[in-house]
Structure 1
């Protein structure tokens, strides 16, 4: 399938942060393997003058998702902490939009749209189609894709640039099935025509 980029497209890079990569506080198996394909997409979108957005978990110390606060996850992606930084090899352009999520203690936010200005920024730029990759397939990628679909965007899942945490076996596969069932379209970098 060939997809030609238009002026109404945007790339959304989800949570490619050190804590979600090998050696981090909440590592996604092979999480760092999304960096190289994402850099290809970033180059394609930047080269075409299209916006690049990068979401990141930006948690306060007392965030509801942490085990010590009654949540299910270890402490991760603390605001201004090393683990919250983007992977060193991720080549985000200087004009990339950084979207902080999960920055309120009482609000879990898997979707890049939840409690953020992402939808407003996309609408301001006339964006109709979003291309989503990053970490993790079964959590923040899934919820960002579903959030985009619910808001009326055409959503492409960058299947060569996602990895799952798989808390339960096959969570990632089930997440992909759900996203496609709800209307997302799965593509790889070779499908994009600039």
Structure 2
């Protein structure tokens, strides 16, 4: 399949937020280096570029104090929930906030973890005539993977760009192998960029 980007393609930038950068309460190693690849991708002629934000109420169920697995992070309205200042936002057309419900977490940009509450991203993309989605950001083994799986389920041809992602725990190869079994393709951001410069 061609890596030529056009108006039927969408770029989904997952959770490039201050609290997920190294030094943040849920810092993902190497996440601060991703804008060097993501920013040039934003200059390509995608039909829409969506940036997601974890946007949790205080006392969210995912926090350790509430019995969840994660330290307090990305509390709505705090500086830590803001998009990384290093991320070029000029071409970001949609900012989608997830994890808003106090009792349900939301890894995927498409739906909450209960698979009931949906964000509306599916309809937005289809309404724009999007056929393919390219997923980048953090964390590869959680929110990026969940978004890619749901994109396939929604009927989009889906690519994860591993060099423009970073993970928290699992090794990238095992995550990518599992995604491949579920119909997710992969291509490196450097290859997408070089192909579109021809």
**Fold shared, TM-score > 0.5 on shorter chain:** yes
Distance 2:77 2:36 in 1: 25
TM-score, normalising length: structure 1: 0.91
Q: Are 1:133 and 2:136 matched, yes or no?
A: yes
Residue 101 of structure 1 corresponds to 98
Distance 1:181-1:69 versus aligned 2 partners, 3 A rule = same
Most deviating of 115-124 and 11-20 = 115-124
Shift of 1:186: 1.1
Equivalent residue pairs, number: 188
* Structure 2 residues not aligned, in runs of 5+: 112-117
Most deviating of 182-191 and 101-110 = 182-191
Partner residue of 2:48 out of 30, 46, 51: 51
Distance 1:15 1:122 in 2: 18
Instruction: Decide whether the 8 Å contact of 2:107 with 2:143 is kept in 1.
Output: yes
* Structure 1 residues not aligned, in runs of 5+: none
Q: Are 1:124 and 2:127 matched, yes or no?
A: yes
Shift of 1:147: 0.7
Instruction: Decide whether the 8 Å contact of 2:47 with 2:130 is kept in 1.
Output: no
Q: 5 Å matches for 1:1-194?
A: 2-44=2-44, 48=45, 50-93=47-90, 95-114=92-111, 115-166=118-169, 170=171, 172-192=172-192, 193-194=195-196
Other structure's SS at 1:92 match: coil
Distance 1:154-1:49 versus aligned 2 partners, 3 A rule = closer
Shift of 1:191: 2.9
TM-score, normalising length: structure 2: 0.90
What stretches of structure 1 move > 4 A for 4+ residues in a row?
none
Instruction: Decide whether the 8 Å contact of 2:49 with 2:93 is kept in 1.
Output: yes
Describe the superposition over 1:31-64 as per-residue Cα deviations: whole angstroms up to 9, x where unpaired. Answer: 11211111111111xxx26210001100000211
Distance 1:51 1:139 in 2: 23
Shift of 1:161: 0.3
